[in-house]
Chain A
Amino acid sequence: MADIFRVGNCAGFSGDRVDAPGPVVDTLIEWGGPCAVFFETLGERTVALAQLEKRRDPQRGYEPMLERLLEPILVRCAEHGIPIIGNFGAANPPGAAKLIAKLALRLGLPELKIAVVYGDDVRDRLDITTHEVYEADTGLNMGGGDVVSANAYLSARPMVDALKAGAQVVVTGRTGDPSLALAPLIHHFGWAYDDWAKLAVGATAGHLLECGAQVTGGYYYDPGYKEIPDPANIGFPIAEVHADGRLVITKAARTGGLVNAQVVKEQLLYEIHDPGHYITPDVTLDFSQVTVVEIGENRVQVNGVRGGPAPQTIKATVCFDGGWLGEGEISYAGPNCVARAKAAADVLLQRLKLRKLAVEARVDLIGIASVHSGDSGSRWRTEAHSDAQDIRVRLAVSARSQDDADQAAREALALYCCGPAGGGGVRWRTTPRIRTQSYLMLPSDLAPGYWVKSAMEIDQ
Chain B
Amino acid sequence: MTAAAKPGEALVSVPLHSVAHGRAGDKGNRLNVSVMPYDAAAYAVLAEQLTEERVLALYAHRGAVRVTRHDLPLLPAFNFVIDEVLEGGVNGSLNLDGHGKSNSFILLGMQVRVPQKFVRSAQAEK
CB distance from A262 to the nearest CB of B (A): 6
- The answer to whether B95 has its CB under 8 Å from any CB of chain A is yes
Contacting residues of chain A (345-384) with chain B, CB-CB under 8 angstroms = 360-362, 364, 366, 370-375, 377, 379
- Residue of B21, B26, B62 with most partner-chain A CB within 10 A: B21
CB distance from A213 to the nearest CB of B (A): 13
A436 near B89: Cβ-Cβ < 8 Å? yes
Give the residues in chain B near A435, CB-CB below 8 Å.
Answer: 88, 91-92
- The answer to whether A140 has its CB under 8 Å from any CB of chain B is yes
- The answer to whether A250 has its CB under 8 Å from any CB of chain B is no
Q: Report the stretch among A56-64, A163-171, A268-276, A446-454 that lies at the interface.
A: A268-276
Give the residues in chain B near A262, CB-CB below 8 Å.
Answer: 21, 36, 38
A272 near B32: Cβ-Cβ < 8 Å? yes
A372 near B102: Cβ-Cβ < 8 Å? yes
- The answer to whether A219 has its CB under 8 Å from any CB of chain B is yes
Q: Is the interface of B mostly helix, strand, loop or mixed?
A: mixed
B61 near A267: Cβ-Cβ < 8 Å? no
If A266-B23, A273-B32, A433-B91 touch, does A377 touch B72 (CB 8 Å cutoff)?
no
**B53-85 vs A, Cβ < 8 Å mask (1 yes, 0 no):** 000000001110000101010110101010110
CB distance from A16 to the nearest CB of B (A): 15
CB distance from B100 to the nearest CB of A (A): 9
Q: What is the size category of the interface that chain B forms with chain A?
A: 35 or more
Q: What is the size category of the interface that chain A forms with chain B?
A: 35 or more
CB distance from B40 to the nearest CB of A (A): 10
A273 near B29: Cβ-Cβ < 8 Å? no
Other-chain residue from B28, B96, B101 in contact with A140 (beta carbon distance below 8 A): B28
Give the residues in chain A near B106, CB-CB below 8 Å.
Answer: 372
Other-chain residue from B27, B29, B34 in contact with A265 (beta carbon distance below 8 A): B34
Q: How far is the CA of A434 from the CA of B94 in the complex (A)?
A: 13
B21 near A290: Cβ-Cβ < 8 Å? no
Other-chain residue from A225, A322, A370, A375 in contact with B21 (beta carbon distance below 8 A): A225
A436 near B91: Cβ-Cβ < 8 Å? yes
A44 near B61: Cβ-Cβ < 8 Å? no
Closest to A288 in B: B72
Give the residues in chain A near B25, CB-CB below 8 Å.
Answer: 269-272
| Residues in A lying within 8 Å of B, measured CB to CB | 44-45, 134, 136-137, 139-141, 219-220, 222, 224-226, 262, 265-276, 287-292, 304, 319, 322, 325, 360-362, 364, 366, 370-375, 377, 379, 394, 396-398, 433-438
For the complex with contacts A273-B27, A274-B81, A276-B70, 6 further pairs of A-B residues with Cβ separation under 8 Å are: A136-B28, A262-B38, A266-B36, A269-B77, A270-B23, A374-B63
